[in-house]
A and B are shown apart, each in its own frame.
Chain A
Protein backbone atom coordinates (compact mmCIF):
# COMPACT_ATOMS: atom_id res chain seq x y z
CA UNK A 1 0.00 0.00 0.00
CA UNK A 2 2.84 2.36 0.92
CA UNK A 3 4.63 1.43 -2.27
CA UNK A 4 1.52 2.11 -4.33
CA UNK A 5 1.04 5.45 -2.63
CA UNK A 6 4.70 6.27 -3.30
CA UNK A 7 4.35 5.39 -6.98
CA UNK A 8 1.19 7.46 -7.35
CA UNK A 9 2.79 10.35 -5.48
CA UNK A 10 5.84 10.25 -7.77
CA UNK A 11 3.66 10.37 -10.86
CA UNK A 12 1.59 13.23 -9.52
CA UNK A 13 4.76 15.09 -8.56
CA UNK A 14 6.15 14.63 -12.08
CA UNK A 15 3.01 16.03 -13.69
CA UNK A 16 2.86 18.94 -11.23
CA UNK A 17 6.53 19.79 -11.81
CA UNK A 18 6.04 19.70 -15.58
CA UNK A 19 2.95 21.87 -15.33
CA UNK A 20 4.73 24.25 -12.96
CA UNK A 21 7.68 24.69 -15.34
CA UNK A 22 5.25 25.24 -18.20
CA UNK A 23 3.32 27.93 -16.34
CA UNK A 24 6.58 29.53 -15.15
CA UNK A 25 7.86 29.85 -18.71
CA UNK A 26 4.54 30.68 -20.40
CA UNK A 27 3.28 33.50 -18.18
CA UNK A 28 2.91 36.29 -19.03
CA UNK A 29 1.77 35.20 -22.45
CA UNK A 30 3.59 36.47 -25.52
CA UNK A 31 2.38 36.30 -29.10
CA UNK A 32 5.51 36.21 -31.23
CA UNK A 33 8.11 33.72 -32.41
CA UNK A 34 5.76 30.70 -32.64
CA UNK A 35 4.91 31.04 -28.94
CA UNK A 36 1.48 29.46 -29.42
CA UNK A 37 2.98 26.47 -31.21
CA UNK A 38 5.66 26.06 -28.53
CA UNK A 39 2.94 26.29 -25.86
CA UNK A 40 0.88 23.60 -27.61
CA UNK A 41 3.91 21.32 -27.92
CA UNK A 42 4.80 21.82 -24.26
CA UNK A 43 1.24 21.19 -23.05
CA UNK A 44 0.95 18.06 -25.20
CA UNK A 45 4.33 16.85 -23.91
CA UNK A 46 3.49 17.34 -20.23
CA UNK A 47 -0.01 15.86 -20.52
CA UNK A 48 0.99 12.87 -22.65
CA UNK A 49 4.06 12.29 -20.48
CA UNK A 50 1.78 12.15 -17.46
CA UNK A 51 -0.53 9.75 -19.30
CA UNK A 52 2.43 7.53 -20.17
CA UNK A 53 3.41 7.36 -16.51
CA UNK A 54 -0.19 6.67 -15.46
CA UNK A 55 -0.60 3.87 -18.02
CA UNK A 56 2.84 2.33 -17.46
CA UNK A 57 1.44 -0.72 -15.71
CA UNK A 58 -1.41 -1.32 -18.15
CA UNK A 59 -0.64 -4.42 -20.25
CA UNK A 60 -0.83 -4.33 -24.03
CA UNK A 61 -3.78 -6.45 -25.27
CA UNK A 62 -2.72 -9.91 -26.41
CA UNK A 63 -2.12 -10.58 -30.08
CA UNK A 64 -5.11 -12.16 -31.75
CA UNK A 65 -5.91 -13.11 -35.30
CA UNK A 66 -8.61 -10.50 -35.86
CA UNK A 67 -8.78 -7.97 -33.01
CA UNK A 68 -11.85 -5.78 -32.67
CA UNK A 69 -11.59 -2.10 -33.71
CA UNK A 70 -11.72 -1.12 -30.04
CA UNK A 71 -8.76 -3.33 -29.18
CA UNK A 72 -6.84 -2.09 -32.19
CA UNK A 73 -7.53 1.54 -31.26
CA UNK A 74 -6.49 0.91 -27.65
CA UNK A 75 -3.27 -0.76 -28.78
CA UNK A 76 -2.49 2.12 -31.16
CA UNK A 77 -3.17 4.62 -28.38
CA UNK A 78 -0.85 2.77 -25.97
CA UNK A 79 1.86 2.62 -28.66
CA UNK A 80 1.50 6.34 -29.33
CA UNK A 81 1.67 7.24 -25.66
CA UNK A 82 4.62 4.94 -24.96
CA UNK A 83 6.80 5.38 -28.03
CA UNK A 84 6.76 9.14 -28.61
CA UNK A 85 9.36 11.03 -26.50
CA UNK A 86 6.85 13.39 -24.92
CA UNK A 87 9.09 14.77 -22.20
CA UNK A 88 11.73 15.83 -24.72
CA UNK A 89 9.05 17.75 -26.63
CA UNK A 90 7.88 19.37 -23.41
CA UNK A 91 11.45 20.42 -22.52
CA UNK A 92 12.07 21.96 -25.96
CA UNK A 93 8.71 23.75 -25.91
CA UNK A 94 9.25 25.14 -22.41
CA UNK A 95 12.79 26.27 -23.24
CA UNK A 96 11.57 28.05 -26.35
CA UNK A 97 8.83 29.80 -24.33
CA UNK A 98 11.54 30.90 -21.90
CA UNK A 99 13.54 32.40 -24.76
CA UNK A 100 10.54 34.47 -25.76
CA UNK A 101 9.82 35.40 -22.17
CA UNK A 102 10.78 38.96 -21.14
CA UNK A 103 12.55 37.55 -18.14
CA UNK A 104 15.70 38.07 -16.15
CA UNK A 105 18.46 35.41 -15.88
CA UNK A 106 17.39 34.34 -12.36
CA UNK A 107 14.01 33.38 -13.88
CA UNK A 108 15.79 31.09 -16.34
CA UNK A 109 17.93 29.62 -13.56
CA UNK A 110 14.86 28.71 -11.53
CA UNK A 111 13.30 27.17 -14.65
CA UNK A 112 16.50 25.15 -15.16
CA UNK A 113 16.25 23.81 -11.63
CA UNK A 114 12.58 22.97 -12.19
CA UNK A 115 13.28 21.23 -15.47
CA UNK A 116 16.07 19.05 -14.11
CA UNK A 117 13.85 18.16 -11.14
CA UNK A 118 11.04 17.32 -13.57
CA UNK A 119 13.27 15.00 -15.60
CA UNK A 120 14.64 13.28 -12.50
CA UNK A 121 11.18 12.72 -11.03
CA UNK A 122 9.88 11.41 -14.37
CA UNK A 123 12.76 8.96 -14.43
CA UNK A 124 12.09 7.80 -10.86
CA UNK A 125 8.39 7.41 -11.61
CA UNK A 126 8.88 5.38 -14.77
CA UNK A 127 11.41 3.05 -13.16
CA UNK A 128 9.46 2.78 -9.87
CA UNK A 129 12.61 3.73 -7.99
CA UNK A 130 12.67 5.49 -4.63
CA UNK A 131 13.96 9.00 -4.13
CA UNK A 132 17.03 7.55 -2.40
CA UNK A 133 18.24 6.37 -5.82
CA UNK A 134 19.44 9.92 -6.41
CA UNK A 135 21.63 9.96 -3.31
CA UNK A 136 24.85 8.92 -5.13
CA UNK A 137 24.30 11.75 -7.59
CA UNK A 138 23.92 14.41 -4.90
CA UNK A 139 27.44 15.81 -5.32
CA UNK A 140 27.16 16.01 -9.07
CA UNK A 141 23.73 17.59 -8.80
CA UNK A 142 25.20 20.10 -6.36
CA UNK A 143 27.92 20.93 -8.88
CA UNK A 144 25.24 21.31 -11.54
CA UNK A 145 23.36 23.73 -9.30
CA UNK A 146 26.52 25.78 -8.83
CA UNK A 147 27.04 25.94 -12.59
CA UNK A 148 23.41 26.90 -13.02
CA UNK A 149 23.88 29.76 -10.58
CA UNK A 150 27.10 30.79 -12.30
CA UNK A 151 25.34 30.79 -15.66
CA UNK A 152 22.62 33.00 -14.25
CA UNK A 153 25.24 35.22 -12.66
CA UNK A 154 27.05 35.53 -15.98
CA UNK A 155 23.77 36.55 -17.57
CA UNK A 156 23.24 39.25 -14.96
CA UNK A 157 26.68 40.82 -15.38
CA UNK A 158 26.46 44.13 -17.21
CA UNK A 159 27.81 43.97 -20.72
CA UNK A 160 31.35 45.24 -21.16
CA UNK A 161 30.36 47.14 -24.24
CA UNK A 162 27.36 47.88 -26.38
CA UNK A 163 28.36 45.55 -29.26
CA UNK A 164 27.41 41.91 -29.93
CA UNK A 165 30.94 40.83 -29.05
CA UNK A 166 30.45 41.38 -25.34
CA UNK A 167 27.45 38.96 -25.22
CA UNK A 168 29.45 36.39 -27.11
CA UNK A 169 32.32 36.82 -24.68
CA UNK A 170 30.07 36.09 -21.72
CA UNK A 171 28.72 33.03 -23.48
CA UNK A 172 32.19 31.72 -24.22
CA UNK A 173 33.12 32.21 -20.58
CA UNK A 174 30.10 30.22 -19.39
CA UNK A 175 30.77 27.49 -21.96
CA UNK A 176 34.40 27.24 -20.86
CA UNK A 177 33.25 26.86 -17.26
CA UNK A 178 30.91 24.01 -18.17
CA UNK A 179 33.60 22.32 -20.27
CA UNK A 180 36.07 22.56 -17.38
CA UNK A 181 33.48 21.02 -15.07
CA UNK A 182 32.92 18.23 -17.57
CA UNK A 183 36.65 17.48 -17.63
CA UNK A 184 36.87 17.34 -13.84
CA UNK A 185 33.67 15.33 -13.37
CA UNK A 186 34.83 11.82 -14.33
CA UNK A 187 37.30 11.98 -11.44
CA UNK A 188 34.62 13.30 -9.09
CA UNK A 189 32.19 10.58 -10.20
CA UNK A 190 34.69 7.78 -9.58
CA UNK A 191 34.97 8.84 -5.97
CA UNK A 192 31.21 8.87 -5.40
Chain B
Protein backbone atom coordinates (compact mmCIF):
# COMPACT_ATOMS: atom_id res chain seq x y z
CA UNK B 1 0.00 0.00 0.00
CA UNK B 2 1.26 3.42 -0.88
CA UNK B 3 1.85 5.22 2.44
CA UNK B 4 1.31 8.75 1.21
CA UNK B 5 -0.36 8.41 -2.11
CA UNK B 6 -3.86 8.01 -3.43
CA UNK B 7 -5.44 4.61 -3.10
CA UNK B 8 -8.84 2.98 -3.00
CA UNK B 9 -11.04 5.07 -0.73
CA UNK B 10 -12.89 2.06 0.64
CA UNK B 11 -9.72 0.30 1.79
CA UNK B 12 -8.21 3.45 3.23
CA UNK B 13 -4.62 4.57 3.35
CA UNK B 14 -2.24 3.63 6.10
CA UNK B 15 -0.31 6.68 7.16
CA UNK B 16 2.91 6.69 9.12
CA UNK B 17 2.73 9.23 11.95
CA UNK B 18 5.65 11.50 12.75
CA UNK B 19 5.40 12.32 16.42
CA UNK B 20 6.96 15.39 17.95
CA UNK B 21 6.52 17.58 20.97
CA UNK B 22 3.75 20.13 20.76
CA UNK B 23 4.32 23.82 21.24
CA UNK B 24 2.57 23.36 24.57
CA UNK B 25 5.26 20.88 25.62
CA UNK B 26 8.02 23.23 24.58
CA UNK B 27 6.47 26.05 26.57
CA UNK B 28 6.05 23.88 29.67
CA UNK B 29 9.65 22.71 29.31
CA UNK B 30 10.82 26.32 29.09
CA UNK B 31 8.95 27.21 32.27
CA UNK B 32 10.25 24.13 34.07
CA UNK B 33 13.89 24.55 33.06
CA UNK B 34 13.85 28.31 33.70
CA UNK B 35 12.43 27.74 37.18
CA UNK B 36 15.00 25.07 38.02
CA UNK B 37 17.87 27.10 36.58
CA UNK B 38 16.94 30.15 38.63
CA UNK B 39 16.40 28.03 41.73
CA UNK B 40 19.93 26.64 41.47
CA UNK B 41 21.48 29.94 40.47
CA UNK B 42 19.76 32.08 43.09
CA UNK B 43 19.41 29.26 45.66
CA UNK B 44 15.70 29.99 46.04
CA UNK B 45 13.59 26.87 46.46
CA UNK B 46 10.34 28.69 45.62
CA UNK B 47 11.50 28.78 41.99
CA UNK B 48 11.80 25.00 42.07
CA UNK B 49 8.18 25.07 43.19
CA UNK B 50 7.39 27.40 40.26
CA UNK B 51 8.90 24.81 37.91
CA UNK B 52 7.11 21.89 39.55
CA UNK B 53 3.61 22.02 37.91
CA UNK B 54 5.11 22.24 34.43
CA UNK B 55 7.54 19.39 35.09
CA UNK B 56 4.93 17.07 36.60
CA UNK B 57 2.62 17.71 33.65
CA UNK B 58 5.42 16.77 31.27
CA UNK B 59 6.36 13.69 33.27
CA UNK B 60 2.75 12.47 33.40
CA UNK B 61 2.11 13.01 29.71
CA UNK B 62 5.29 11.26 28.62
CA UNK B 63 4.21 8.04 30.34
CA UNK B 64 1.82 7.17 27.47
CA UNK B 65 2.66 5.11 24.37
CA UNK B 66 2.21 6.71 20.95
CA UNK B 67 0.25 5.34 18.03
CA UNK B 68 2.63 4.44 15.18
CA UNK B 69 0.19 4.71 12.25
CA UNK B 70 -3.44 5.30 11.38
CA UNK B 71 -5.78 4.38 8.55
CA UNK B 72 -7.40 7.29 6.76
CA UNK B 73 -10.22 7.03 4.23
CA UNK B 74 -10.80 9.96 1.89
CA UNK B 75 -13.69 9.73 -0.52
CA UNK B 76 -14.67 12.50 -2.92
CA UNK B 77 -18.36 12.56 -3.82
CA UNK B 78 -17.36 12.52 -7.48
CA UNK B 79 -14.22 12.20 -9.55
CA UNK B 80 -15.64 14.27 -12.39
CA UNK B 81 -17.00 17.76 -12.13
CA UNK B 82 -17.54 20.80 -14.25
CA UNK B 83 -15.88 24.11 -13.55
CA UNK B 84 -17.33 25.86 -10.47
CA UNK B 85 -19.28 22.75 -9.50
CA UNK B 86 -19.08 21.88 -5.82
CA UNK B 87 -17.90 18.54 -4.58
CA UNK B 88 -17.28 17.22 -1.10
CA UNK B 89 -14.46 15.10 0.27
CA UNK B 90 -15.40 12.91 3.22
CA UNK B 91 -12.50 11.88 5.41
CA UNK B 92 -12.45 9.34 8.23
CA UNK B 93 -9.66 8.20 10.54
CA UNK B 94 -9.71 4.73 12.11
CA UNK B 95 -8.03 3.58 15.29
CA UNK B 96 -7.75 6.98 16.92
CA UNK B 97 -9.94 6.40 19.97
CA UNK B 98 -7.65 7.96 22.57
CA UNK B 99 -6.55 10.85 20.40
CA UNK B 100 -8.10 14.04 19.17
CA UNK B 101 -7.90 14.38 15.40
CA UNK B 102 -7.51 17.62 13.49
CA UNK B 103 -7.73 17.80 9.71
CA UNK B 104 -6.38 20.54 7.52
CA UNK B 105 -6.96 20.66 3.80
CA UNK B 106 -4.34 22.23 1.53
CA UNK B 107 -6.18 22.67 -1.77
CA UNK B 108 -4.30 21.98 -4.98
CA UNK B 109 -3.78 24.50 -7.80
CA UNK B 110 -7.03 25.86 -9.28
CA UNK B 111 -9.03 24.21 -6.50
CA UNK B 112 -10.89 26.62 -4.24
CA UNK B 113 -12.18 25.61 -0.82
CA UNK B 114 -15.80 26.37 0.00
CA UNK B 115 -15.99 26.99 3.72
CA UNK B 116 -13.49 25.91 6.34
CA UNK B 117 -10.25 24.14 5.48
CA UNK B 118 -9.76 22.77 8.99
CA UNK B 119 -11.96 20.48 11.02
CA UNK B 120 -11.85 18.44 14.22
CA UNK B 121 -13.09 14.94 14.89
CA UNK B 122 -12.64 11.45 13.49
CA UNK B 123 -14.85 12.30 10.52
CA UNK B 124 -14.91 15.49 8.53
CA UNK B 125 -16.21 16.85 5.25
CA UNK B 126 -14.51 19.45 3.09
CA UNK B 127 -16.26 21.15 0.19
CA UNK B 128 -14.19 22.38 -2.73
CA UNK B 129 -14.81 23.64 -6.23
CA UNK B 130 -12.49 23.37 -9.23
CA UNK B 131 -11.92 26.75 -10.82
CA UNK B 132 -10.50 25.67 -14.16
CA UNK B 133 -10.78 22.61 -16.36
CA UNK B 134 -8.09 19.96 -16.43
CA UNK B 135 -6.91 16.99 -14.44
CA UNK B 136 -6.48 18.50 -11.01
CA UNK B 137 -5.17 17.27 -7.69
CA UNK B 138 -7.79 18.06 -5.07
CA UNK B 139 -4.97 18.79 -2.69
CA UNK B 140 -3.24 17.41 0.36
CA UNK B 141 -4.78 16.46 3.63
CA UNK B 142 -2.83 17.04 6.80
CA UNK B 143 -3.85 14.96 9.80
CA UNK B 144 -2.72 15.90 13.27
CA UNK B 145 -3.29 13.57 16.19
CA UNK B 146 -2.99 14.88 19.72
CA UNK B 147 -2.81 12.73 22.81
CA UNK B 148 -5.18 13.33 25.71
CA UNK B 149 -2.63 15.53 27.40
CA UNK B 150 -1.86 17.37 24.18
CA UNK B 151 1.84 17.13 24.79
CA UNK B 152 2.72 15.19 21.67
CA UNK B 153 1.47 15.67 18.12
CA UNK B 154 1.49 13.03 15.41
CA UNK B 155 1.56 14.45 11.90
CA UNK B 156 0.80 12.74 8.61
CA UNK B 157 0.03 14.00 5.14
CA UNK B 158 -2.03 12.31 2.49
CA UNK B 159 -2.44 13.17 -1.17
CA UNK B 160 -6.08 13.31 -2.15
CA UNK B 161 -7.25 11.68 -5.39
CA UNK B 162 -7.15 13.52 -8.70
CA UNK B 163 -10.23 15.09 -10.19
CA UNK B 164 -11.22 15.44 -13.84
CA UNK B 165 -12.61 18.91 -14.20
CA UNK B 166 -14.58 19.51 -17.37
CA UNK B 167 -14.92 22.92 -18.96
CA UNK B 168 -18.35 24.43 -18.46
CA UNK B 169 -20.02 24.05 -21.86
CA UNK B 170 -21.24 27.17 -23.58
CA UNK B 171 -24.88 27.49 -24.61
CA UNK B 172 -25.78 26.11 -28.02
CA UNK B 173 -29.17 24.83 -29.09
CA UNK B 174 -29.13 25.18 -32.86
CA UNK B 175 -26.98 23.12 -35.20
CA UNK B 176 -25.39 23.65 -38.58
CA UNK B 177 -26.70 21.07 -41.04
CA UNK B 178 -25.09 20.14 -44.33
CA UNK B 179 -27.09 20.25 -47.53
CA UNK B 180 -25.89 16.80 -48.53
CA UNK B 181 -26.45 14.26 -45.81
CA UNK B 182 -25.31 10.64 -45.73
CA UNK B 183 -27.96 7.98 -46.25
CA UNK B 184 -28.46 7.26 -42.56
CA UNK B 185 -31.54 7.74 -40.43
CA UNK B 186 -31.51 10.81 -38.25
CA UNK B 187 -33.41 13.96 -37.40
CA UNK B 188 -32.33 16.46 -40.07
CA UNK B 189 -34.74 16.88 -43.01
CA UNK B 190 -32.85 15.95 -46.18
CA UNK B 191 -33.43 17.21 -49.71
CA UNK B 192 -34.93 13.88 -50.78
CA UNK B 193 -38.35 12.47 -50.07
CA UNK B 194 -38.69 9.84 -47.42
CA UNK B 195 -40.49 8.94 -44.24
CA UNK B 196 -40.04 12.10 -42.23
CA UNK B 197 -42.60 14.57 -40.93
CA UNK B 198 -41.63 17.70 -42.88
CA UNK B 199 -43.67 18.37 -46.04
CA UNK B 200 -41.60 17.81 -49.20
CA UNK B 201 -44.02 17.94 -52.17
CA UNK B 202 -46.96 16.41 -54.00
CA UNK B 203 -46.88 13.58 -56.55
CA UNK B 204 -49.34 11.31 -58.30
CA UNK B 205 -50.77 8.42 -56.37
CA UNK B 206 -49.34 4.98 -57.10
CA UNK B 207 -50.75 1.74 -55.77
CA UNK B 208 -49.31 1.00 -52.38
CA UNK B 209 -49.39 4.62 -51.15
CA UNK B 210 -51.11 5.17 -47.83
CA UNK B 211 -54.61 6.50 -48.04
CA UNK B 212 -54.03 9.01 -45.26
CA UNK B 213 -51.36 10.74 -47.33
CA UNK B 214 -53.73 11.64 -50.16
CA UNK B 215 -53.86 15.39 -50.69
CA UNK B 216 -57.56 15.86 -51.48
CA UNK B 217 -57.32 19.51 -52.45
CA UNK B 218 -54.60 18.83 -55.05
CA UNK B 219 -56.46 15.70 -56.26
CA UNK B 220 -59.63 17.78 -56.84
CA UNK B 221 -57.70 20.45 -58.72
CA UNK B 222 -55.83 18.02 -60.99
CA UNK B 223 -58.59 15.46 -61.42
CA UNK B 224 -56.32 12.61 -60.35
CA UNK B 225 -55.28 11.31 -56.96
CA UNK B 226 -52.29 13.16 -55.50
CA UNK B 227 -50.37 12.23 -52.39
CA UNK B 228 -48.16 14.32 -50.08
CA UNK B 229 -44.52 13.36 -49.82
CA UNK B 230 -42.29 14.10 -46.85
CA UNK B 231 -38.63 14.88 -46.53
CA UNK B 232 -36.36 12.05 -45.53
CA UNK B 233 -34.65 12.48 -42.15
CA UNK B 234 -30.95 11.91 -42.06
CA UNK B 235 -28.08 12.34 -39.63
CA UNK B 236 -24.66 13.73 -40.33
CA UNK B 237 -21.12 13.15 -39.16
CA UNK B 238 -19.66 16.07 -37.26
CA UNK B 239 -15.99 16.34 -36.41
CA UNK B 240 -14.97 18.97 -33.88
CA UNK B 241 -11.46 20.17 -34.53
CA UNK B 242 -9.88 21.84 -31.49
CA UNK B 243 -6.67 23.79 -31.84
CA UNK B 244 -4.80 23.50 -28.55
CA UNK B 245 -1.50 24.85 -29.82
CA UNK B 246 -2.08 28.44 -28.72
CA UNK B 247 -3.43 29.37 -25.32
CA UNK B 248 -3.51 33.16 -25.24
CA UNK B 249 -5.54 35.45 -23.05
CA UNK B 250 -6.49 35.60 -19.42
CA UNK B 251 -6.70 32.22 -17.67
CA UNK B 252 -10.36 31.32 -17.46
CA UNK B 253 -11.23 33.05 -20.73
CA UNK B 254 -8.21 32.16 -22.84
CA UNK B 255 -8.43 30.88 -26.40
CA UNK B 256 -8.07 27.28 -25.22
CA UNK B 257 -10.72 27.75 -22.53
CA UNK B 258 -13.15 29.05 -25.12
CA UNK B 259 -12.22 26.34 -27.63
CA UNK B 260 -12.93 23.60 -25.07
CA UNK B 261 -16.15 25.21 -23.87
CA UNK B 262 -17.34 25.73 -27.42
CA UNK B 263 -16.44 22.19 -28.45
CA UNK B 264 -18.25 20.82 -25.39
CA UNK B 265 -21.36 22.81 -26.28
CA UNK B 266 -21.21 21.74 -29.92
CA UNK B 267 -20.77 18.08 -28.93
CA UNK B 268 -23.87 18.26 -26.76
CA UNK B 269 -25.97 20.06 -29.36
CA UNK B 270 -25.09 17.70 -32.24
CA UNK B 271 -25.43 14.55 -30.15
CA UNK B 272 -28.87 15.68 -29.01
CA UNK B 273 -29.74 16.02 -32.71
CA UNK B 274 -28.74 12.33 -33.13
CA UNK B 275 -25.64 13.15 -35.15
CA UNK B 276 -22.44 11.19 -34.88
CA UNK B 277 -19.82 13.42 -33.30
CA UNK B 278 -16.06 12.94 -33.06
CA UNK B 279 -13.17 15.14 -32.08
CA UNK B 280 -9.67 15.84 -33.32
CA UNK B 281 -7.32 17.77 -31.06
CA UNK B 282 -4.48 19.49 -32.85
CA UNK B 283 -1.72 19.57 -30.28
CA UNK B 284 1.88 19.18 -29.35
CA UNK B 285 3.46 16.41 -31.32
CA UNK B 286 0.56 15.62 -33.62
CA UNK B 287 -3.16 15.18 -33.42
CA UNK B 288 -5.23 12.97 -31.14
CA UNK B 289 -8.63 11.88 -32.31
CA UNK B 290 -11.83 10.16 -31.33
CA UNK B 291 -13.98 8.60 -34.04
CA UNK B 292 -17.52 9.94 -34.47
CA UNK B 293 -20.15 8.07 -32.50
CA UNK B 294 -23.62 8.51 -31.06
CA UNK B 295 -24.96 8.72 -27.53
CA UNK B 296 -24.75 10.88 -24.44
CA UNK B 297 -21.63 9.13 -23.22
CA UNK B 298 -19.84 10.42 -26.27
CA UNK B 299 -19.91 13.93 -24.74
CA UNK B 300 -17.77 12.74 -21.86
CA UNK B 301 -15.51 10.72 -24.15
CA UNK B 302 -14.97 13.81 -26.26
CA UNK B 303 -14.17 16.01 -23.27
CA UNK B 304 -11.87 13.33 -21.84
CA UNK B 305 -10.09 13.14 -25.16
CA UNK B 306 -9.60 16.89 -25.24
CA UNK B 307 -8.38 17.03 -21.65
CA UNK B 308 -5.92 14.20 -22.21
CA UNK B 309 -4.17 16.10 -24.97
CA UNK B 310 -1.15 18.28 -24.25
CA UNK B 311 -1.47 21.94 -24.97
CA UNK B 312 1.55 23.58 -26.49
CA UNK B 313 3.60 24.18 -29.59
CA UNK B 314 2.63 21.86 -32.44
CA UNK B 315 5.24 20.08 -34.51
CA UNK B 316 3.18 20.37 -37.65
CA UNK B 317 0.59 17.64 -37.36
CA UNK B 318 -0.85 16.56 -40.68
CA UNK B 319 -4.46 15.53 -40.99
CA UNK B 320 -3.64 13.52 -44.13
CA UNK B 321 -2.35 10.78 -41.84
CA UNK B 322 -5.53 10.51 -39.85
CA UNK B 323 -7.53 7.34 -40.47
CA UNK B 324 -10.79 7.43 -42.34
CA UNK B 325 -12.66 6.65 -39.13
CA UNK B 326 -11.46 9.86 -37.50
CA UNK B 327 -12.41 12.06 -40.45
CA UNK B 328 -15.22 10.39 -42.42
CA UNK B 329 -15.80 11.70 -45.95
CA UNK B 330 -18.68 14.15 -46.13
CA UNK B 331 -18.42 15.09 -42.47
CA UNK B 332 -19.04 18.60 -41.24
CA UNK B 333 -15.87 19.90 -39.59
CA UNK B 334 -16.41 22.56 -36.92
CA UNK B 335 -13.11 24.17 -36.00
CA UNK B 336 -12.42 26.01 -32.73
CA UNK B 337 -9.20 27.93 -33.04
CA UNK B 338 -7.59 31.36 -32.48
CA UNK B 339 -5.91 30.84 -35.90
CA UNK B 340 -2.51 31.87 -34.59
CA UNK B 341 -0.54 28.85 -35.75
CA UNK B 342 0.28 29.14 -39.44
CA UNK B 343 0.66 25.38 -39.83
CA UNK B 344 -2.79 24.82 -38.42
CA UNK B 345 -4.18 27.27 -40.96
CA UNK B 346 -2.32 25.39 -43.70
CA UNK B 347 -3.82 22.13 -42.42
CA UNK B 348 -7.29 23.71 -42.67
CA UNK B 349 -6.63 24.74 -46.27
CA UNK B 350 -5.46 21.22 -47.00
CA UNK B 351 -8.65 19.75 -45.55
CA UNK B 352 -10.77 22.17 -47.52
CA UNK B 353 -9.00 21.17 -50.71
CA UNK B 354 -9.82 17.56 -49.90
CA UNK B 355 -13.50 18.54 -50.00
CA UNK B 356 -14.55 18.78 -46.39
CA UNK B 357 -17.28 21.22 -45.39
CA UNK B 358 -15.82 23.38 -42.68
CA UNK B 359 -16.82 26.14 -40.34
CA UNK B 360 -14.31 28.00 -38.19
CA UNK B 361 -15.24 29.48 -34.82
CA UNK B 362 -12.59 32.08 -34.09
CA UNK B 363 -11.91 32.15 -30.33
CA UNK B 364 -9.21 34.82 -30.33
CA UNK B 365 -10.25 37.58 -27.94
CA UNK B 366 -6.97 39.18 -27.07
CA UNK B 367 -4.45 41.38 -28.78
CA UNK B 368 -0.82 42.34 -28.19
CA UNK B 369 -0.60 44.97 -25.44
CA UNK B 370 -1.08 48.59 -26.54
CA UNK B 371 2.10 50.61 -26.00
CA UNK B 372 3.11 54.15 -26.84
CA UNK B 373 6.20 53.49 -28.90
CA UNK B 374 5.77 53.89 -32.62
CA UNK B 375 7.41 50.53 -33.34
CA UNK B 376 4.99 48.81 -30.98
CA UNK B 377 1.99 50.46 -32.57
CA UNK B 378 3.28 49.51 -35.98
CA UNK B 379 3.83 45.92 -34.91
CA UNK B 380 0.31 45.80 -33.53
CA UNK B 381 -1.14 47.05 -36.78
CA UNK B 382 0.89 44.52 -38.75
CA UNK B 383 -0.31 41.75 -36.47
CA UNK B 384 -3.93 42.80 -36.97
CA UNK B 385 -3.49 42.93 -40.74
CA UNK B 386 -1.93 39.48 -40.71
CA UNK B 387 -4.86 38.12 -38.71
CA UNK B 388 -7.34 39.74 -41.08
CA UNK B 389 -5.46 38.25 -44.02
CA UNK B 390 -5.63 34.75 -42.52
CA UNK B 391 -9.38 35.00 -42.03
CA UNK B 392 -9.87 36.52 -45.48
CA UNK B 393 -7.91 33.72 -47.15
CA UNK B 394 -10.03 31.09 -45.38
CA UNK B 395 -13.25 32.81 -46.44
CA UNK B 396 -11.94 32.93 -50.01
CA UNK B 397 -11.53 29.16 -49.86
CA UNK B 398 -15.16 28.79 -48.82
CA UNK B 399 -14.56 28.31 -45.11
CA UNK B 400 -16.88 30.55 -43.09
CA UNK B 401 -15.18 32.14 -40.10
CA UNK B 402 -17.31 33.38 -37.22
CA UNK B 403 -16.02 35.12 -34.12
CA UNK B 404 -17.14 34.04 -30.67
CA UNK B 405 -16.37 36.04 -27.53
CA UNK B 406 -17.16 33.27 -25.08
CA UNK B 407 -19.90 35.28 -23.35
CA UNK B 408 -22.82 35.05 -25.75
CA UNK B 409 -24.43 31.72 -26.70
CA UNK B 410 -22.79 30.00 -29.67
CA UNK B 411 -26.13 30.19 -31.46
CA UNK B 412 -25.61 33.90 -32.12
CA UNK B 413 -22.40 33.80 -34.19
CA UNK B 414 -23.59 30.62 -35.93
CA UNK B 415 -27.05 32.04 -36.71
CA UNK B 416 -26.22 32.77 -40.34
CA UNK B 417 -25.31 29.13 -40.89
CA UNK B 418 -27.97 27.42 -38.80
CA UNK B 419 -30.94 29.03 -40.57
CA UNK B 420 -30.43 27.10 -43.80
CA UNK B 421 -28.46 24.00 -44.77
CA UNK B 422 -24.81 24.67 -45.39
CA UNK B 423 -23.67 24.06 -48.93
CA UNK B 424 -20.68 21.81 -49.36
CA UNK B 425 -18.84 23.64 -52.09
CA UNK B 426 -16.08 21.88 -53.89
| Interface-side segment among B38-46, B333-341, B394-402 | B38-46
Contact of A171 among B34, B45, B53, B60 (CB under 8 A): B45
Contacting pair B60 A155 (CB below 8 A): no
Least Cβ–Cβ distance between A62 and chain B, in angstroms: 10
Contact of A151 among B22, B49, B120, B146 (CB under 8 A): B49
Chain B 48-98 residues near chain A, CB threshold 8 A: 48-57, 59-64
Contacting pair B48 A174 (CB below 8 A): yes
Please measure, in the bound complex, the distance between the C-alpha atom of A56 and the C-alpha atom of B56, giving whole angstroms: 29
Whether B343 is near chain A, meaning CB under 8 Å from some CB there, is no
Contact of A123 among B24, B53, B63 (CB under 8 A): B24
Please measure, in the bound complex, the distance between the C-alpha atom of A188 and the C-alpha atom of B42, giving whole angstroms: 32
Contacting pair A144 B52 (CB below 8 A): yes
Whether A178 is near chain B, meaning CB under 8 Å from some CB there, is yes
Please measure, in the bound complex, the distance between the C-alpha atom of A190 and the C-alpha atom of B61, giving whole angstroms: 9
A residues in contact with B56, CB < 8 Å: 140, 143-144, 147, 178, 181-182, 185
| Interface-side segment among B25-33, B196-204, B264-272, B405-413 | B25-33
A residues in contact with B42, CB < 8 Å: 99
A79-99 vs B, CB cutoff 8 Å, 1 = contact: the mask equals: 000000101100110011011
Whether B35 is near chain A, meaning CB under 8 Å from some CB there, is yes
Q: Determine the residue in chain A with the shortest Cβ distance to B36.
A: A175
Chain A 165-192 residues near chain B, CB threshold 8 A: 167-168, 170-171, 173-175, 178, 181-182, 185-186, 188-190, 192
Size category of the B interface is: 35 or more
Size category of the A interface is: 35 or more
Please measure, in the bound complex, the distance between the C-alpha atom of A123 and the C-alpha atom of B152, giving whole angstroms: 12
B residues in contact with A181, CB < 8 Å: 52, 56, 59
Q: Which residues of B contact A (CB under 8 A)?
A: 22-24, 26-28, 30-31, 34-36, 38-40, 42-57, 59-64, 100, 102, 117, 120, 146, 148-150
26 residue pairs bridging A and B, Cβ less than 8 Å apart = A95-B38, A95-B50, A99-B42, A99-B47, A108-B49, A112-B35, A115-B31, A119-B27, A119-B28, A122-B24, A127-B150, A128-B120, A137-B149, A143-B56, A148-B49, A149-B49, A151-B47, A151-B50, A154-B46, A175-B48, A182-B55, A185-B63, A186-B63, A188-B60, A190-B63, A190-B64
The 3 closest A-B pairs by CB, nearest first: A151-B49, A144-B53, A155-B46
- 7 additional A-B pairs beyond A127-B150, A151-B47, beta carbons within 8 Å, are A88-B27, A109-B46, A109-B49, A148-B53, A154-B45, A154-B48, A171-B45
